[in-house]
Amino acid sequence: PGVITRAPSRLITYRQGMNDLVVAQVWRYPAKSMLGERVPSVSVSAAGVLGDRGWAVRDEVRGGIRGAKKIGDLMHLGARYVAPPTAHDPTPHIEISFPDGTSVTSADGDINARISAELGHHVTLWPLQPPDDLDHYRRGAADSDDLLVELRDIFGRTEDEPLPDLSVFPPEIFEYESPPGTYLDAFPLMVMTTGSVATLQDHLPDSVLDLARFRPNLVVTAEATPDNPWPEQGWVGRRATIGTAEVEFVTGCPRCVMITRPIRDLPDDRSIMRAVVREADQNLGVYATVVTPGTIAEGDQLA
C-alpha cells in the first residue's frame, strides 16, 4: 500500500464542488523523516494529526533537530508506535526498523548509538518538547555560508530553477527547524490527490512514484483532467468538512529534496524534482490547517 504505479487517471468524477472527493488513505509519521504508517483513522487538532512527527533526531554534530533534507538516510528507517498515541500520551514509545530487518525501540538504552551507527552520523532521538523550550527547536548550523547555495541544497533546485516563495511559510521556521512545540515542516496537514500523482506519473513513465517520497497525511481520490491536472491546487483558500473535522487549505506544498531521496529499494531520482518544478510550478499537494478538531477516516467525503 502506498505505491502508485501508473495510477488510473479516471478514479472519480471531479466537479467544481468537493462532495465527490473521498479520503483514500490516511497516514501518520511517528518520527520526522522516517517511513510512516497507514492507519484507518486519525484524530486531528490545531496541532495536526495526533502522534504525527511525535519524535525526531537531533544532530549532535552541527546542532538542531534534523530531517532528511540534511540527513537523507533517515528515509531508510521506518517508525511505528508501540501503543497508539492518545490525548494524554501523544508521543508514546516507537519502534524503529532498519533496512536489514532489525529494530530497536525508543525505550532501549542503546537507541542513540544504534541510530547513529545506521546513519553514520551522531544523533540523539527526542520526543516533542514543550513549545517554550526554544533552544531545542532552534535551527542548527547551515552547511554553507552562502544562503542561495544552502536553499538550493535544501530544496533540491538546480541553478536555473526558481526557489519557492518562502513568504508562504510561518515566519518562525526561519529561526526554528519547525514551529516550536512541533516537528512539522510548516503546517499541520499535507493533502494530496490521486489525480496529481497520476499527472506526475504521466510526465515520468520510467519512475516509481511511491507515496513514501511525498509523505501526505491524507490522500484524496480525485480525477485529473487536461484543464485541471493538479486538482488540489484549486482548493487553496477553501474549507472542507472531512469526517467530523473542518480544515482550511492554505497553500500549495513547495517540494524539497526529500522527494528525490533513495528509500530502501527505491533509487535516488532527481527527475521527480525536475518534473515537479517544470510541470507543477514547484507544488505537489496542499498544506492545510485544522479549523475544527475531529476524526478523519478512510472513506470520508470532503464536503
Per-residue pLDDT of 159-190, as tens digits, reads 999 999 999 899 999 999 999 999 999 999 99
First-to-last alpha carbon distance for the chain, in angstroms, is 26
| The pLDDT value given to residue 4 | 36
Return the H-helix or E-strand segment holding 76.
Answer: none
Contact residues for 251 (Cβ-Cβ < 8 A; gap 6+): 168, 187, 236, 286, 287
Classify residue 63 as left (phi > 0), alpha (psi -120 to 50) or beta: left
**pLDDT tens-digit series, residues 253-295:** 999 999 999 998 899 999 999 999 999 999 999 999 999 999 9
DSSP H stretches of helix in the chain = 111-119, 134-137, 147-155, 194-203, 271-280
| The pLDDT value given to residue 17 | 55
**pLDDT tens-digit series, residues 78-124:** 999 999 999 999 999 999 999 999 999 999 999 999 999 999 999 99
Strands 189-193 and 218-221: parallel
Cβ pair 184, 210 in contact under 8 A: no
Cα–Cα nearest to 153, from 53, 255, 256, 290: 256
Task: Determine the Cα–Cα distance for residues 40 and 103; give it in Å rounded to an integer.
Answer: 24
**pLDDT tens-digit series, residues 21-38:** 999 999 999 999 999 999
Within 10 angstroms of residue 152's Cβ, the number of other Cβ atoms is: 17
**pLDDT tens-digit series, residues 149-158:** 999 999 999 9
| The pLDDT value given to residue 2 | 46
Q: Which three cell numbers stand for residue 125?
A: 532521538
Please calculate the CA angle 59-259-17 and round it to the nearest 5 degrees. 125
Q: Which three cell numbers stand for residue 16?
A: 467544481
Q: Is the per-residue pLDDT at 126 higher than 60? A: yes
Q: Is the per-residue pLDDT at 5 higher than 60? A: no
**pLDDT tens-digit series, residues 63-90:** 999 999 999 999 999 999 999 999 999 9
**DSSP E strands, 128-201:** 189-193
Contact residues for 30 (Cβ-Cβ < 8 A; gap 6+): 36, 37, 51, 52, 53, 54, 55, 79, 80, 81, 94
Task: Determine the Cα–Cα distance for residues 151 and 144; give it in Å rounded to an integer.
Answer: 9
Cβ pair 302, 220 in contact under 8 A: yes
**pLDDT tens-digit series, residues 227-244:** 999 999 999 999 999 999
Return the H-helix or E-strand segment holding 66.
Answer: strand 65-66
Q: What percentage of the chain reaches a pLDDT higher than 70?
A: 94
| The pLDDT value given to residue 19 | 60
| The pLDDT value given to residue 9 | 30
Cβ pair 226, 39 in contact under 8 A: no
Task: Determine the Cα–Cα distance for residues 233 and 167; give it in Å rounded to an integer.
Answer: 17
| The pLDDT value given to residue 3 | 38
State the amino acid at position 263 in one-letter form.
Answer: I
Cα–Cα nearest to 286, from 221, 219, 241: 219
| The pLDDT value given to residue 1 | 41
Q: How many CA atoms lie within 13 A of 302 on its CB side?
A: 26
Paired with 81 in beta bridges are: 94
pTM of the model: 0.92
| Phi, psi values for residue 191, rounded to 5° | -120, 135
Paired with 190 in beta bridges are: 287
- The mean pLDDT of 208-236, rounded to a whole number, is 96
